[in-house]
Amino acid sequence: MRIIHTSDWHLGRTLNNRKRYDEQSAFLNWLANYIEDEHVEALLIAGDVFDTTTPSNRAQELYYTFLCRIARSCCRNVVVIGGNHDSPSFLNAPKELLKALNVFVVGSITENPEDEVIVLRDIDNKPKVIVCAVPYLRDRDIRTVEAGETIEDKNAKLIEGIRNHYSKIFLIAEKKREELLKVMNNENGSSKTPIIAMGHLFTTGGKTVEDDGVRELYVGTLAHVGESVFPEGIDYIALGHLHIPQQVKNSEKIRYSGSPIPMGFGEGTKKLVLVELHEKMKTKEIEIPCFQELKRVCGSLAEIRDKINILKTEKSTAWLEIVYNGEEIVPNLRDIIEEFIEDSELEIRKIKNQRTIDEIKSKWEDSEVLDELDELEVFNKCLEVHNISEKERPELIQSYKEILTELHEKDIQAE
């Protein structure tokens, strides 16, 4: 069986207020064509289908149009798990209807763990692979709260909760495999059915880049799981959440596919993973075309001008992030850059005046700097402004992180 592993579509995501539906539509068309051309039989989407818990009508249209097209193709099975950006109730709402198209959705942890074990079959209805479709595991799903817990206690319980859940689902999958093996041996002496696990989490040592939109999943010291949380008998582990395609601890069988389009200006080539399960498992990274070029242009005014002129000569249509790091203070930087790109199809999406930012940060007087800080950095600045002592800060920061997690994970679509 040929299987594609992809994740982190983030349908509906914008880039500095610029809508990206054209890119997202182009990717889905390319993916559907690739599946048809390469006779791919199964598609695994490892979370963060949508960018928000309330996706726009256009984002939903892209998703359902794609699934309908794939259902009519050689791709006999699609498995979708929820990510931390997805609304579990929104993803799950049409799951019974989608089953008719052989699209299996697991938006969140289920009351019945067997719901997370899915058998994928070929055109002759023969079982080919068992999928442990484990969605993003929310803190409240896997950890009980006790009074007096330290940050270390919470992290240890989180990791143990993730390990226990995967172990439970894998045992169900193994039992299912034994049942299938008995049936298949009676028919044609077939070998064991491979087991694939899915997940949406942050592994230890995982690579991120600035401005890629990846946020931490848990509070405390931000628990990252090691590869040891996954049972050894799993043949392949298809992960989502990190946007850079990568292997976990250089393991061919534990991979992040990465996002199909760049979330920010610092990312490189985008890929998905083709998994071939025959007598032996083989994986291959497939490069995804660039549907909209993003360019980061750094330097002094003269350097920025020269680099933009090269792009104009190449007739580039790139979206630009300008990072000015010259010595001279330039208050009207945007006006100057706009003049640089005149008579071209270049588009400025972001300007960072590093000299001004550094001065503002040192004085903390201008609210414009908020665009350059994340939520935790802003909170730390507030602690400084209000002269909160170093002794009091850890507990306040921990409480603030817990509030942020609760806000991010709130499923506003659920009744």
Do 247 and 304 lie in a common domain? Answer: no
Burial label, 204 (beta-carbon count in 10 A; 0-12, 13-18, 19+): middle
Mean pLDDT for each 10-residue chunk of the chain (415 residues)?
A: 97 94 98 97 97 95 97 95 95 96 95 95 91 93 75 82 95 94 64 91 84 61 77 95 94 95 91 89 95 94 95 96 88 91 94 68 50 71 80 77 68 66
Do 112 and 10 lie in a common domain? Answer: yes
> What would you report as the CA-atom Rg of the chain, rounded to the nearest whole angstrom?
24
Do 55 and 102 lie in a common domain? Answer: yes
- Name the domain count of the chain: 2
* 3-class DSSP assignment, residue 79: strand
Nearest 5°: the CA angle 68, 73, 75 is: 95
By C-alpha distance, which of 408, 46, 410, 88 is closest to 242? 46
Q: What is the pLDDT of residue 221?
A: 44
Q: What is the pLDDT of residue 189?
A: 45
Do 68 and 50 lie in a common domain? Answer: yes
Do 264 and 324 lie in a common domain? Answer: no
Name 404's Cβ contacts closer than 8 Å, sequence gap at least 6.
Answer: 219, 375, 376
Do 327 and 272 lie in a common domain? Answer: no
Q: What is the pLDDT of residue 366?
A: 46
Domain assignment present for residue 414? The answer is no
Q: What is the pLDDT of residue 367?
A: 46
Whichever domain contains 174, its CATH number is 3.60.21.10
Whichever domain contains 322, its CATH number is 3.30.160.720
Which of 257, 287, 317 is at the close of a domain?
A: 287
Q: Which two tokens stand for residue 74?
A: 């050689």
Query: Residue 414: left if φ>0, alpha if ψ -120 to 50, beta else—which one?
Result: beta
By C-alpha distance, which of 55, 119, 115 is closest to 81? 115
Whole domain around residue 261: which residue ranges? Answer: 2-287
User: Are the C-beta atoms of residues 104 and 196 closer than 8 Å to each other?
Assistant: no
Name 44's Cβ contacts closer than 8 Å, sequence gap at least 6.
Answer: 3, 4, 5, 6, 78, 79, 131, 196, 198, 238
Domain assignment present for residue 415? The answer is no
Secondary structure E strands in 59-147: 77-81, 103-106, 117-121, 127-133
Do 367 and 332 lie in a common domain? Answer: yes
Report CA-CA distances (Å) from 376 to 91, 186, 222, 359, 379: 29, 60, 13, 20, 5
Do 299 and 246 lie in a common domain? Answer: no
The CA distance from 328 to 150, in Å, is: 48
The CA distance from 137 to 158, in Å, is: 10
Do 93 and 229 lie in a common domain? Answer: yes
Q: What is the pLDDT of residue 406?
A: 65
Q: What is the pLDDT of residue 192?
A: 82
Do 386 and 237 lie in a common domain? Answer: no
Strands of the sheet containing 103-106, edge to edge, are 103-106, 77-81, 42-46, 2-6, 271-277, 281-287
By C-alpha distance, which of 119, 272, 135 is closest to 198? 135
User: Are the C-beta atoms of residues 48 and 10 closer than 8 Å to each other?
Assistant: yes
Q: What is the pLDDT of residue 360?
A: 53
Alpha helices in 212-260 (DSSP H): none
Q: Which two tokens stand for residue 292?
A: 């909209």
Domain assignment present for residue 247? The answer is yes
Which of 262, 287, 312 is at the close of a domain?
A: 287
Do 299 and 181 lie in a common domain? Answer: no
The CA distance from 246 to 386, in Å, is: 42
